[in-house]
Chains A and B, each alone.
Chain A
Amino acid sequence: MKLPPHRARLNRHGFTLMEVSSAMGLMVILSGALVIMLQQHLSFMGLAQRQSFLAQEAPQIGNVLGRIFQQADHYFVYASRESALGGGTPVIQDGGAVRLFFKTAAQTTQERLIAAETGSGGTSLRFYTPQADGTESSWLICQGLQGAAFNANEGILTVTLTGPNGEEITYCGGAR
């Protein structure tokens, strides 16, 4: 039952050099395509990350600051939080803090403070509420900024925020 030589060659297991070469070439193309896809995905992720301040944080900051500014009765801009608390002279522009005064239903005045504070993680905006016992409570409006500046040079209160990637947005409000 010995097979003729040409039949024996046909029955041999394995691939020809051409088949292996073609398969390897296609696999190289396939892996290259996958690498390109990964790089593209990473670049899109990076782009989305760079846009996250304006796309995700800024609308919320605008909502918060807009409500606060619109409800303020009057305001004073100071160079810094220390200056605002220490009774310093108000400034017109490039301020680091703003004292806001709100009228209550009982016609009393409540004071609040928003200050830009620079630390190791960048500049943050913090809202301070003085308490009756002399202490103060605070909550964070935003953080990770490159800078924040309060201005009152146009007759309205503005705050210009510089985002972590050089973004710039200005929110405005005014005394009623």
Chain B
Amino acid sequence: MKLICRQHPCSRGSLLIEVSAALALTATLALVIMRASLLSISGNQWTIMQTLTDAYLSRESALANRLPFADLTGEASAWPDLANEEMPVAPQTVTVGRVAGGQVVQGTLRRFRTSEVASNMEAPLTVWRLHSVLSYNVGSQEYVKSRSTLRLQ
């Protein structure tokens, strides 16, 4: 009888402890899953921005290759000379694309050109490097991506 009396008080309330442990385990599991989900979503966001900005910069490369040399070196050049202080490099807000739901994604584009001079150049060539620098945000972080195109005449 002594054995019965000792065992019974020990088993009483054990369900409470088990359920509490299960609750704690579930809460921990929920936090871990939420963290994993957030990480996967944030990874997607980064990939999406890379995709959109890569596609946008393909436009910049194509335009830089296509631009007539007269327009490139003109006063209203889309790629102003970085060395020319009278034509400052003005940042412009551009639409990079749209994400799911149609929300517009914007970035800031800076275009400028720099003179590339070869010291041992036998033929007198005018060589410009056209730079397109795109800055964009992923969450609270700001990223910068650039493309440059060499043009010579």
Q: B-contacting residues of A (Cβ < 8 Å)?
A: 3, 7, 10-11, 15, 19, 22-23, 26-27, 29-30, 33-34, 36-37, 40-41, 44, 47-48, 50-51, 53-55, 58-59, 62, 66, 69, 154-158, 163, 165-174
Other-chain residue from B16, B41, B54, B62 in contact with A22 (beta carbon distance below 8 A): B16
Other-chain residue from A10, A26, A55, A168 in contact with B23 (beta carbon distance below 8 A): A26
Interface string of B6-49 (1 = CB under 8 A from A): 00110011011001101100110110011001001100110110
Q: A-contacting residues of B (Cβ < 8 Å)?
A: 1, 4-5, 8-9, 12-13, 15-16, 19-20, 22-23, 26-27, 29-30, 33-34, 37, 40-41, 44-45, 47-48, 50-52, 54-56, 58-59, 61-63, 65-66, 97-102
Alpha-carbon distance A37/B17, docked complex (angstroms): 22
CB distance from A149 to the nearest CB of B (A): 14
- CB contacts (< 8 Å) of A40 on chain B: these are 30, 33-34, 37
Other-chain residue from A37, A51, A163, A165 in contact with B30 (beta carbon distance below 8 A): A37
> Does B20 lie within 8 Å of A26, measured CB to CB?
yes
- CB contacts (< 8 Å) of B22 on chain A: these are 30
- CB contacts (< 8 Å) of B59 on chain A: these are 156, 158, 170, 172
Listed residue (B4, B45, B59) with the most chain A CB atoms within 10 angstroms of its CB? B59
- CB contacts (< 8 Å) of B102 on chain A: these are 166-168
Alpha-carbon distance A51/B54, docked complex (angstroms): 17
Other-chain residue from A3, A37, A155, A158 in contact with B29 (beta carbon distance below 8 A): A37
Q: Given A34-B26, A40-B37, A44-B41, verify A171-B55 contact (CB < 8 Å).
A: yes
Other-chain residue from B16, B37, B44, B66 in contact with A51 (beta carbon distance below 8 A): B44
Other-chain residue from A3, A34, A51, A156 in contact with B63 (beta carbon distance below 8 A): A156
Whose C-beta in chain A lies nearest to the C-beta of B67? A155
Whose C-beta in chain B lies nearest to the C-beta of A44? B37
- CB contacts (< 8 Å) of B40 on chain A: these are 44, 48
Q: What would 7 A/B residue contacts be, using CB atoms closer than 8 Å? A: A7-B5, A41-B37, A59-B50, A167-B100, A170-B59, A170-B97, A174-B62
